[in-house]
Structure 1
Amino acid sequence: MDIDFATLAHLAGSAANDAILEQLHEIGHEGVRVSHGYVIQHLVEGSPTVSELGELLGVTQQAASKQLLELERLGYVTRVPDRADSRIRRAELTGRGRRLVDDSRRLRRALDVHGDDAAKRALVRLLDATGGAENVLRRRVVPG
């Protein structure tokens, strides 16, 4: 294939995400979308407010609220009162949300066996060269 490395990396990543999403739907996670993963990454270890989530995602509070509503309707997220101020609501993963994270990680690990270390190192170097590695490490990757 005569495709530049960045485009090839993007296309391969998109194809992998599509395959994983299809498998997630097959095992009972109907309705979940790739964009939900950007929200869920901030709920794995935290409980942000809608405003905080919007800031983390680089979107408006309304856009973050819409994503949370979708995830709530699907049973992956719940909103709970803040421990210090019950007027503030924080988003948290439900048990179903944690299962989605576990299932996603398991499917991604299974897909990893198809890659090789040289390819992975090349992609990490590309992230480093473009300044994207820090965003990945800090879970600051925003929907594109």
Structure 2
Amino acid sequence: MKPNPDSDLSLLLTAASAGADEAVRQRLREAGFTDVRRSHGYVFQHLLAGPITVGRLADLLGMTGQGASKAVKELEGLGYVTRTADPEDARVRLVALTERGSRAVQESRRARREYHEEVRNLLGDTEMDALIRNLHALAVHTQGLDLLLQRRLRPTAGR
């Protein structure tokens, strides 16, 4: 039996999420951040509080040190992060957001606010408020909200 995307909740949530993600990334591209990928946000979120080691980043991302190093190297090449020596141990390298990385985070937040207002304009206040309440209840039920708030959501392979 073929799934019906008009009534399959999981498919509809996946489609809505993909559409929201693309709308935000389009706004980021328009703001000059043409090279930001969804997976970069998972790294950025762990650098917001300040510099951390690649090993700690790997732990937070649930990946190997080699995988985290690869992500950091890519982001460093794009100008979003920098690696510096730990003042307490020069053998240890700390990863931090650059000014460009911080601006990308700020633009992403702005883009998400704009998308929120776009959807509110589409649905109207009453329907938008109901949508937010229902999505919140679902996120709590699935424990996805806890993962989000604890910054424990993991990147999806291939994104």
Indicate whether the TM-score tops 0.5: yes
Structure 1 or 2, whichever has the larger Rg, is 2
Q: Unmatched 5+ residue regions in structure 1?
A: none
Aligned residue in 1 for 2:134: 122
1:93 aligns with 2:105: no
Match of 1:13, SS state, is: helix
Aligned 1:1-144 pairs, distance under 5 A: 2-113=6-117, 114-115=119-120, 116-144=128-156
User: Shift in Å at residue 123 of structure 1?
Assistant: 1.3
Give the TM-score, by structure 1 length: 0.92
Match of 2:52, SS state, is: coil
Task: Name the aligned partner's letter for residue 134 of structure 2.
Answer: A
Percent identical residues: 46
User: Shift in Å at residue 52 of structure 1?
Assistant: 1.0
Aligned equivalents of 2:47, 2:114: Cα separation in 1: 23
Give the TM-score, by structure 2 length: 0.84
Between the two proteins, the alignment pairs up a number of residues equal to 144
8 A contact 2:82–2:95 mirrored in 1? yes
User: Shift in Å at residue 5 of structure 1?
Assistant: 2.5
Match of 1:81, SS state, is: strand
8 A contact 1:9–1:123 mirrored in 2? no
Q: Unmatched 5+ residue regions in structure 2?
A: 121-127
Aligned equivalents of 2:83, 2:150: Cα separation in 1: 23
